């Protein structure tokens, strides 16, 4: 049986690492309910509230998650009819932060707590402030691995280079720091070969073109509804592969390719597929059609390849997506990409 009715864990979670997860899990195990609050002022680049919230909800779906910036806090206050205030600055006095959290739990959220779980020496004083001003009874402090002996991790170090310290991140968090590289190009322009070669060069994963796999499994027949299925499955496989990737993930085509073929084959596309085609990558490579067209029995012809290549150029420009042209033999293309990725 849980010892406490409602526990509280507060942190920046920039990013959420295994030390944080140990703390939150201990609090989960020790409480009937758990409130997890994340805020930081200023924000850290690339660690915005929506991203932190997604990590916390993925890892601790049973907890009450509140991730704040000034706009989110103002919205919460408006919903409760409470005068808004700004988040305290990270460098503000600790007492200000304690009273801010007490006000947030008691006045804004209406969720007073009877236990605070921390891995820091401020924990006992935090519990005292809550007990004296923002609770209906005693508020306990529970210390979890303050010596960092169970999970010897530094949030600052992880933040500086999440990939180098990926062992301290759960797969769902680590995947968010993988650089996703999309390889585009017309038929018979070396996309698959390049994706495989880059994955081998960088000792990481690549994602094959699901559309071709489905096409082959259905004896060369694709129905209209298959195209949306392809777009969804391509992104699902990318997300799955990112869990195991090492710093980079190379993706053979994208839903933009699926959208192209859907319109080409059927003259229309579902709105959802058009939205999937907007999916952004950290880097886009466009393979030049600079070697003889190879007909493997599944492709159109060189003229179609040229038209498809021109479509990619125009569509990427229209969407404001920067891309890198790669050309020449496979080894040449790998060297061109390597110069960009290791710069």
Domains defined along the chain, listed by start: 4-155 (3.40.50.620), 178-341 (3.40.50.300)
303: helix, strand or coil: helix
CA angle 276, 278, 281 (to 5 degrees): 105
Give the Cα separation of 201 and 27 in Å (integer): 43
Walk along the chain (343 residues) and give the pLDDT tens digit of each residue: 569 999 999 999 999 999 999 999 999 999 999 999 999 999 999 999 999 999 999 999 999 999 999 999 999 999 999 999 999 999 999 999 999 999 999 999 999 999 999 999 999 999 999 999 999 899 999 999 999 999 998 888 899 999 889 999 999 999 999 999 999 998 878 899 999 999 999 999 999 999 999 998 998 899 999 999 999 999 999 999 999 999 999 999 999 999 999 999 999 999 999 999 999 999 999 999 887 546 555 556 568 888 999 999 999 999 999 999 999 999 999 999 999 998 6
What's the sign of the alpha-carbon dihedral 128, 30, 243, 335?
positive
SS3 content of the chain, % helix, strand, coil (to 5): 45, 15, 40
Give the residue carrying structure tokens 């990481």: 204
Q: Give the global pTM.
A: 0.86
Measuring CA to CA, which residue among 190, 192, 261, 181 is closest to residue 227?
A: 261
């Amino acid at each position: 049986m849980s010892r406490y009715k409602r526990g509280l864990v507060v942190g920046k979670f920039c990013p959420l690492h295994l030390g944080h997860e140990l703390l939150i899990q201990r609090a989960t195990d020790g409480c009937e309910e758990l409130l997890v609050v994340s805020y930081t002022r200023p924000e850290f680049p690339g660690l915005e509230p929506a991203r932190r919230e997604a990590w916390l909800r993925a890892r601790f779906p049973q907890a009450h998650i509140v991730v704040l910036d000034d706009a989110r806090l103002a919205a919460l206050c408006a919903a409760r009819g409470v005068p808004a205030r700004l988040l305290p600055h990270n460098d503000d006095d600790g007492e200000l932060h304690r009273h801010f959290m007490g006000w947030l739990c008691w006045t804004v959220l209406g969720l007073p707590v009877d236990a605070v779980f921390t891995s820091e020496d401020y924990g006992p004083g935090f519990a005292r402030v809550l007990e004296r001003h923002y609770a209906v009874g005693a508020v306990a402090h529970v210390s979890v691995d303050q010596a960092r002996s169970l999970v010897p991790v530094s949030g600052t170090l992880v933040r500086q280079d999440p990939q180098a310290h990926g062992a301290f991140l759960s797969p769902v968090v680590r995947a968010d720091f993988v650089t996703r590289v999309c390889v585009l190009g017309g038929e018979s322009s070396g996309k698959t070969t390049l994706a495989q070669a880059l994955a081998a060069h960088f000792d990481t994963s690549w994602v094959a073109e699901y559309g071709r796999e489905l096409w082959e499994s259905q004896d060369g027949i694709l129905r209209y509804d298959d195209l949306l299925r392809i777009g969804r499955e391509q992104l699902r496989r990318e997300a799955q592969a990112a869990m195991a990737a090492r710093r980079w993930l190379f993706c053979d085509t994208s839903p933009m390719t699926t959208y192209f073929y859907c319109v080409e084959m059927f003259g229309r596309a579902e709105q959802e597929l058009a939205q999937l085609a907007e999916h952004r990558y950290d880097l886009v490579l466009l393979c030049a059609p600079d070697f003889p067209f190879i007909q493997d029995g599944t492709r159109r012809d060189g003229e179609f390849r040229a038209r498809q290549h021109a479509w990619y150029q125009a569509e990427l420009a229209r969407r404001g997506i920067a891309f890198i042209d790669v050309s020449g033999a496979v080894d040449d293309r790998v060297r061109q990409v390597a110069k960009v990725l290791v710069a």
